[in-house]
Structures are given as structure tokens and as C-alpha cells.
């Protein structure tokens, strides 16, 4: 492999090997400002060093600088440089290349080169310190997170947003011939400067990143029959494109269903995600013989086999709960803001309380790690499905207050829309395990998983603008809730609201099948959106029969490569654990039947410890999280992960300093940068959760002694 320097790039010579990208037949520019692109994919990446520098108070603070950059120009040109000056020269040469290609094709405005960066947000922070980037030439999904930005004749795009996976996984799933090298072997902790001589392995590691990225994007374009004009900016964009196309014949009907301002505000209040919680009666306890069950494609299931609101909402006049109940009995979608007084659990041992404190307004609540056990008063925006679950779990004063309420008739989602989901599920099922179809399998799985994200995406986007001084401004969310902006939505927002509450209902009904121990305590130990973990087996046969019948009714099944039918949405066994322990939501560990320990903790990474032999060959991978934990007995409050503690990014927006390398005496200027710092993760509990668990312990002791 030949790695070129900037001086090796001859614009005229290179331009003769590059064509202008043609638009597909029938595809025109949306406006005069829409650019033309070179028919070539490029990729950019930098490697940085983080140093500690004392601030004015004598405290050490992290600052970072770039010591090498790499640029892949098409399939065959790999360029590497060590300074920002060299990179500016490369951009100037790229501008000439674009100009020469534009002249050859007689276009009025010089075309652009599209360049992908895996996690553009990181490189963007450094680029801001070196280039004047105009706010109107960037688009941000969040503050500091651009989907694209333009510098000169280069349009940088974020390939992490496109793929929604690590570069290594992106490469693997697209079948790239080049793989991302081992970061552990490269050793990111080593201090390197632009004048530090790099080993051949280090050069290979750096350049392989952009070679791999270029190939992954190029293969993605080929596999999906896309061009740089048509490829989506995000992974969800693929699904949005498919569904928009399918719904085009009934676009007017869809538009009529879109919520107006007040309707949207109420729906936003009713939006809630999955149901993730740990049974407080088992928290901190190592339990044995735990079985895990999960739903096959939980969110797509709801959209395929259940009814959804299928007309524009109408407001109910008055504050009459009896009238609301009549609409519910007639099968209407009901969304309202309700008041409950003196609300409390029917059963004080209820394992998974439904009401989440973060989604309601409550007075004097008693909480179980964020779930309401009781309260003097609760006000919340909910659907009729939420109300059904609340009534199943809680009791309250009979006079329920109805502050506002709207209703709509239900029906199945449009056939055109559901057929898209069915096709994703069919491909996922048919292609599993089929050699040579790995990319198609990955794509169908990703699309199926993205269906919910697309339908639940917030219609309202706060406008984020990069200001001339390098700071950001954000528009007021409420100001953006206008009919004009709401009508930009491709799908009714209520579809997303109902997808999650229907999934929560499926979870709720399954949890009711779990038995109790001799003390009357539920054998559920943990649940998470589409899964249940419980002591011993549970019989979900009857629930699965009902789901299966409904799925078959609506054609929601597919055959695998062996011809076996797989019905969507049924509960399936997902593993058995010899021992299991949880410390709360998103915090559990287990020992499988082979004695291997696995850890799932929000904030603890799945980064792997790679072991190499004397010849440098990878021989083993072990997750740092489980390696550091060692055994389940260590999974307790106060335990600290070091290597698996994850990282945090510190943004230095005002850096303008010179740093001198003591070893060589060389000086490097540090401008705006981002420092990635490894952090520890310590398991902790909130004070109210500690108090609750003490009461649980006393309760269990009482049961043992006196009953």
C-alpha cells in the first residue's frame, strides 16, 4: 500500500480520473443552490493526543491536539499528513480538482467533494479551531452534533449517523475487505506529536480507518442503488424513504390525520418509552434459576397486529369521566390529561409499578426508584391503554379529574405502510444464516428496528445555529410548534405514541402470568421494554396463542431458510442464568450455564480486552466489564469499574495556547479541541431508594417471622 503526502497530489492529473456524478433519470435539482457532486467517495479522520496542562489555579486540565490526519480520495488515493497546514493545502488542491472537473463538464458552479467522517462531531470541534465555518453551511441534529458541514469545496457528512454503528461493525456488515485495526494494540494513551515518528503499524492503523470507511460507504451506495444525491443522512432515513413512497397514494388522508398544535402538545405529554424496572423485593439479591423471555420484534408487532388512531382527534367538551369511559367502551382512541387523588398500589408487593414519576406531576409521592407507589395527587397525560394498566395496578378516589381529553376512531394502519414492515420482517427471517446475504440481513434488521424510531420521532425540531463566534444558538421549542412545522411530518405522531403503550400492555399482560413465592413475592426480578427475567419458567402459551392468531390474521409471519414459519411478536425463551443479580433499572449481571459472567450497566461500556500472542495475533476477547467484576458477589453498591467505566468528552472552546514538548523542545499550538477522557463508573443508589430497600428488607423479615 502506498500512502501519499500532500505534495504527491497533482490536481489536474487527479481531476482527469474523476467524473461529475450524474443524477438519475427524472431526478432534477430541487433549486439552483443544490450542488453537483464529484462521482467519488472520500473519507477523513484524525488522531489526537490528550495532555494535562495546569490552569490559572494550578489544576490539571485536559487539552488535545491533532498529530496525524488521513484522507481517502476515492478507492485508490490514500493521503496522510501531520499538520493542519498540510490539510489546508490538501483542501486547496481539492478545490482545484473540483474546478477542473466542473470545467470539463461545463457546469456553472464548481462541484463539491463529499467526504464522510465517522462521528463528525469530534472532528468538527477541531475543524472549528482551524477554519471559518459558516452557520448556514451546517445542519445540526443536536448542539455540537452536525449531520453535515461545508468547508471550501468539501461537504463533510457523518457516517456514524448514516450507519448507526461502530466503524468496525459498519465494515463487517457491508463486507469490506479491509477491517478496522485493534485500538488496544495501537494504544491511544501513548503521547504522540506531529513530529513523533510513527511505526509502520501505527501508519497502517491510521490509514486503514479511512480506507475502510470509504469502502463501507461505497458498498452501501452500491447495495442500495443510491448515489451521493439520494443516500439518506441518517439510518432512519432509509425507512422514512420506503414508508413515504408506500404512503404516497394516500398522502392526503395521512395529512388530515396529522395533529394540530394543542393535539400535538397533549400527545407529547402522553409519549413514553418502554417499561424498564427491577423488582425491589429482589434488588441486591443473587437469585438462582432465572429464565429470560423476550418478544420477537416488539415494536413492529404492535404496528402490524393492533389498531391505531386513524382519524384526526376531536376534543371532548366538559370534564366528565363517565363520558370518557363510554368512548373507551366503544373502542375509541382516548388521549387525555387526568387527575388522580390518593392514588396507591392495589397490592403493596406489586413488582413493577407502572406510573413513572418523570412522566407525571405528583404531590407527596412514595417512590420505588422513580416509580410511584402512592401519592396524594397525580396529574398525567395518558392514553386509554395506560388508563387500563393504571386501573389494574392502582386504586384512587372515585372522582377522577378530566382536565382535557380528545378521541379518535381506531383502525389498522394503512396496508401500504404495514406491507413495508412485513417485507422487512420477511427479509430478516428468510436471510438469517444465509451465506453471502449478510449485508441484506443487516439492512433488513436495521430497518425493522428503525420503524418505531421513525414513527416516534419528534416532529418539532429546535433550530440549532452555529454563530460567527463559534457558539451555538437554539430556537425555543414552544415557538416551533406551529401548524406549518407540524404539517412537515410524514406520519401521524400518535402512531409512535400508541406503538410504545401497546408494547407496554403486552409486557404487562405477560408479567401477570409470573407466579409468586411462598412469601407472596413475585418471581419477576427484572423487565426491560420487551423482555422479562424471572425465577423459574413461566407459561406464556395462552398469550402466545392469542398473539399468533392475531398475527396470522394480518399476515404478520414469515418463513426462515428452512421453511419454518416464524410468527412476529410471540414471547420466546431468551436464555437461562444459573445466577442473576440486579441493582435497579439498566443495572444487572448474570452467570450463564457455562459459568461465564456478563454485565449490563448503563454507563459501563462493552469494550473488550484483546489478548495477543507473541506473533501479534489476536487470540481472545473478554469484556472489561465482566473481567473487572470477576464474580456476582462483587456486583454491589460501591463497586467501581475503571477500564469499563467509559469515556467523557470535554470541549475546550476557548483554547489558544502553546505547549512545549519537554523531550524535544518543539512547540505546538493548541486551538479549539475536544478531549476524550476515560472515566470510572461507581454503582450508587439515591437516598430514597436506599430507604425504600431498607423497608423492603424489614417487610420480608416480618413475613418470615410472623406468617
**What does the DSSP 8-state code read for residue 136?**
G
Q: Say yes or no to pLDDT of 78 above 80.
A: yes
The mean of the pLDDT values for the chain is: 92
Rounded-to-5 percentages of helix, strand, coil across the chain = 35, 30, 35
What is each CA distance from 148 to 38, 40, 134, 145, in whole angstroms? 17, 17, 12, 9
Low-confidence winner among 191-200, 369-378, 449-458 (lowest mean pLDDT): 449-458
Query: How crowded is the C-beta side of 502, counted as CA atoms within 13 Å?
Result: 22
Per-residue pLDDT of 247-295, as tens digits, reads: 999 999 999 999 999 999 999 999 999 999 999 999 999 999 999 999 9
DSSP-assigned letters across all residues of 246-276:
HHGGGHHHHHHHS--HHHHHHHHHH-----E
Contacts of 86 (CB under 8 A, 6+ apart): 5, 6, 69
Beta strands in 86-206 (DSSP E): 113-117, 138-142, 145-151, 154-158
Please report the pLDDT score of residue 706 as a whole number: 56
Measure the CA–CA gap between 552 and 174, rounded to whole angstroms.
Answer: 33
Please report the pLDDT score of residue 85 as a whole number: 97
Measure the CA–CA gap between 41 and 437, rounded to whole angstroms.
Answer: 24
Per-residue pLDDT of 114-171, as tens digits, reads: 999 999 999 999 999 999 999 999 999 999 999 999 999 999 999 999 999 899 889 9
Span 6-234: which CATH code? 3.30.420.10
Measure the CA–CA gap between 119 and 167, rounded to whole angstroms.
Answer: 9
Three-state secondary-structure class, residue 482: coil
∠ Cα 53 88 12 (to 5°): 160
Confidence bin at 404 (pLDDT 50/70/90): very high
Please report the pLDDT score of residue 696 as a whole number: 87
Per-residue pLDDT of 291-323, as tens digits, reads: 999 999 999 999 999 999 999 999 998 778 999
Q: Which residue has the cell 411478536?
A: 569
Please report the pLDDT score of residue 616 as a whole number: 65
Low-confidence winner among 328-337, 433-442, 580-589, 629-638 (lowest mean pLDDT): 433-442
Residue among 416, 37, 425, 441 at smallest CA distance from 223: 441
In sequence order, the β-bridge partners of residue 382 are 336
Average pLDDT over every residue of 431-455: 87
Measure the CA–CA gap between 262 and 267, rounded to whole angstroms.
Answer: 9
Measure the CA–CA gap between 200 and 184, rounded to whole angstroms.
Answer: 16
Region of 27 please: left (phi>0), alpha (psi -120 to 50) or beta.
beta
Per-residue pLDDT of 347-363, as tens digits, reads: 999 999 999 999 999 99
Average pLDDT over every residue of 479-486: 93
Per-residue pLDDT of 498-555, as tens digits, reads: 999 999 999 999 999 999 998 899 999 999 999 999 999 999 999 999 999 999 999 9
Measure the CA–CA gap between 84 and 668, rounded to whole angstroms.
Answer: 11
Measure the CA–CA gap between 166 and 646, rounded to whole angstroms.
Answer: 15
Q: Which residue has the cell 423487565?
A: 527
Q: Which residue has the cell 397533549?
A: 266
Distance of CA 256 to the CA centre of its chain: 30
Three cell numbers at 499?
Answer: 406503538
Residue among 439, 431, 444, 443 at smallest CA distance from 562: 431
Contact yes or no for 65/668 (Cβ under 8 A):
yes
Confidence bin at 179 (pLDDT 50/70/90): low
CATH 3.30.420.10 location in the chain: 6-234
Single pTM value for the model: 0.92
Contact yes or no for 309/408 (Cβ under 8 A):
yes
Contact yes or no for 405/315 (Cβ under 8 A):
yes
- The stretches of 466-568 forming alpha helices (DSSP H) are 477-480, 483-486, 494-511, 541-553
Low-confidence winner among 218-222, 459-463, 607-611, 643-647 (lowest mean pLDDT): 607-611
Per-residue pLDDT of 218-248, as tens digits, reads: 999 999 999 999 999 999 999 999 999 999 9
Angle between helical axes of 167-174 and 200-223 (0-180°, round to 10): 50
Q: Which residue has the cell 396507591?
A: 344
Q: Say yes or no to pLDDT of 707 above 60.
A: no
Query: Is 704 or 326 the better-scoring residue by pLDDT?
Result: 326
Q: Do strands 145-151 and 138-142 pair parallel, antiparallel, or not at all (unpaired)?
A: antiparallel
Residue length of the chain: 707
Please report the pLDDT score of residue 704 as a whole number: 62
Measure the CA–CA gap between 596 and 578, rounded to whole angstroms.
Answer: 10
Which helix (H) or strand (E) is 406 found in, with range? strand 401-408
Measure the CA–CA gap between 428 and 7, rounded to whole angstroms.
Answer: 48
Amino acid at each position: 500500500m502506498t500512502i501519499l503526502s500532500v505534495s504527491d497530489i497533482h490536481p489536474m492529473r487527479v481531476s482527469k480520473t474523476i467524473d461529475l456524478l450524474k443524477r438519475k433519470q427524472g431526478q432534477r435539482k430541487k433549486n439552483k443552490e443544490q450542488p453537483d457532486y464529484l462521482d467519488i467517495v472520500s473519507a477523513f479522520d484524525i488522531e489526537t493526543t490528550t495532555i494535562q496542562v495546569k490552569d490559572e489555579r494550578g489544576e490539571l486540565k485536559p487539552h488535545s491536539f491533532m498529530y496525524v490526519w488521513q484522507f481517502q480520495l476515492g478507492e485508490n488515493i490514500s493521503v496522510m499528513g501531520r499538520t493542519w497546514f498540510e490539510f489546508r493545502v490538501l483542501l486547496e488542491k481539492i478545490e482545484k480538482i473540483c474546478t477542473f472537473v466542473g470545467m470539463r463538464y461545463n457546469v456553472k458552479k464548481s462541484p463539491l467533494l463529499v467526504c464522510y467522517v465517522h462521528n463528525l462531531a469530534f472532528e468538527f470541534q477541531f475543524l472549528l479551531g482551524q477554519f471559518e465555518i459558516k452557520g448556514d453551511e451546517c445542519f445540526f441534529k443536536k448542539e455540537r452534533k452536525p449531520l453535515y458541514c461545508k468547508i471550501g469545496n468539501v461537504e463533510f457528512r457523518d457516517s456514524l449517523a448514516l450507519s448507526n454503528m461502530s466503524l468496525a461493525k459498519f465494515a463487517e456488515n457491508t463486507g469490506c475487505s479491509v477491517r478496522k485495526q485493534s485500538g488496544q494494540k495501537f494504544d491511544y494513551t501513548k503521547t504522540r506529536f506531529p513530529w513523533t515518528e510513527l511505526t509502520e503499524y501505527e501508519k497502517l492503523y491510521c490509514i486503514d480507518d479511512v480506507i475502510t470507511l470509504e469502502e463501507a460507504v461505497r458498498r452501501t451506495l452500491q447495495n442500495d442503488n443510491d448515489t451521493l444525491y439520494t443516500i439518506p443522512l441518517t439510518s432512519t432515513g432509509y425507512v422514512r424513504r420506503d414508508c413515504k413512497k408506500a404512503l404516497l397514494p394516500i398522502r392526503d388522508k395521512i395529512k388530515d390525520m396529522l395533529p394540530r398544535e394543542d393535539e400535538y402538545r397533549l400527545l407529547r405529554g402522553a409519549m413514553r418509552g418502554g417499561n424498564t424496572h427491577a423488582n425491589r423485593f429482589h434488588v441486591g439479591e443473587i437469585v438462582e434459576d432465572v429464565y429470560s423471555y423476550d418478544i420477537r420484534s416488539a415494536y413492529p408487532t404492535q404496528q402490524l397486529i393492533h389498531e391505531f388512531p386513524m382519524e384526526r382527534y376531536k376534543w371532548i367538551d366538559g370534564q366528565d369521566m363517565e363520558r370518557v369511559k363510554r368512548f373507551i367502551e366503544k373502542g375509541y382512541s382516548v388521549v387525555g390529561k387526568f387527575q388522580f387523588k390518593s392514588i396507591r398500589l392495589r397490592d403493596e408487593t406489586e413488582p413493577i409499578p407502572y406510573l413513572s414519576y418523570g412522566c407525571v406531576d405528583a404531590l407527596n409521592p412514595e417512590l420505588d426508584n422513580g416509580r410511584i407507589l402512592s401519592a396524594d395527587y397525580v396529574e398525567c397525560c395518558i392514553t386509554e391503554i395506560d388508563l387500563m394498566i393504571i386501573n389494574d395496578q392502582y386504586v384512587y378516589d372515585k372522582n377522577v379529574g378530566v382536565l382535557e381529553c380528545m378521541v379518535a376512531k381506531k383502525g389498522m394502519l394503512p396496508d401500504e405502510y404495514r406491507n413495508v414492515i412485513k417485507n422487512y420482517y420477511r427479509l430478516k427471517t428468510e436471510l438469517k444464516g444465509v451465506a453471502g446475504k449478510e449485508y441484506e440481513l443487516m439492512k433488513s434488521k436495521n430497518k425493522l428496528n428503525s420503524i418505531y424510531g421513525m414513527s416516534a420521532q419528534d416532529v418539532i425540531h429546535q433550530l440549532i445555529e452555529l454563530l460567527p463566534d463559534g457558539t451555538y444558538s437554539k430556537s425555543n421549542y414552544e415557538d416551533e410548534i406551529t401548524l406549518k412545522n407540524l404539517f412537515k411530518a410524514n406520519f401521524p405522531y400518535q402512531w409512535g405514541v400508541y406503538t410504545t403503550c401497546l408494547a407496554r400492555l403486552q409486557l404487562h399482560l405477560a408479567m401477570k402470568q409470573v407466579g409468586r413465592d411462598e412469601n407472596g413475592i413475585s418471581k419477576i426480578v427484572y423487565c426491560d421494554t420487551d423482555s422479562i427475567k424471572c425465577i423459574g419458567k413461566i407459561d406464556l402459551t395462552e398469550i402466545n396463542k392469542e398473539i399468533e392468531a392475531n398475527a396470522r390474521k394480518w399476515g404478520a409471519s414469515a418463513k426462515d431458510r428452512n421453511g419454518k414459519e416464524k410468527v412476529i411478536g410471540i414471547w420466546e425463551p431468551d436464555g437461562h442464568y444459573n445466577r442473576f443479580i440486579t441493582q435497579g433499572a439498566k443495572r444487572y449481571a448474570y452467570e450463564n450455564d457455562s459459568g461465564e459472567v456478563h454485565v449490563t450497566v448503563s454507563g459501563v461500556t462493552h469494550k473488550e480486552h484483546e489478548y495477543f500472542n507473541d506473533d501479534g495475533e489476536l487470540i481472545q476477547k473478554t469484556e472489561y466489564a465482566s473481567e473487572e467484576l470477576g464474580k456476582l458477589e462483587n456486583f454491589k453498591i460501591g463497586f467501581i469499574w475503571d477500564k469499563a467505566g467509559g469515556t467523557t468528552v470535554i470541549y475546550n472552546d476557548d483554547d489558544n495556547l502553546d505547549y512545549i514538548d519537554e523531550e524535544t523542545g518543539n512547540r505546538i499550538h493548541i486551538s479549539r479541541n475536544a478531549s476524550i477522557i476515560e472515566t470510572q463508573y461507581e454503582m450508587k443508589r439515591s437516598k430514597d431508594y436506599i430507604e425504600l430497600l431498607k423497608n423492603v428488607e424489614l417487610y420480608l423479615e416480618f413475613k418470615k417471622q410472623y406468617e
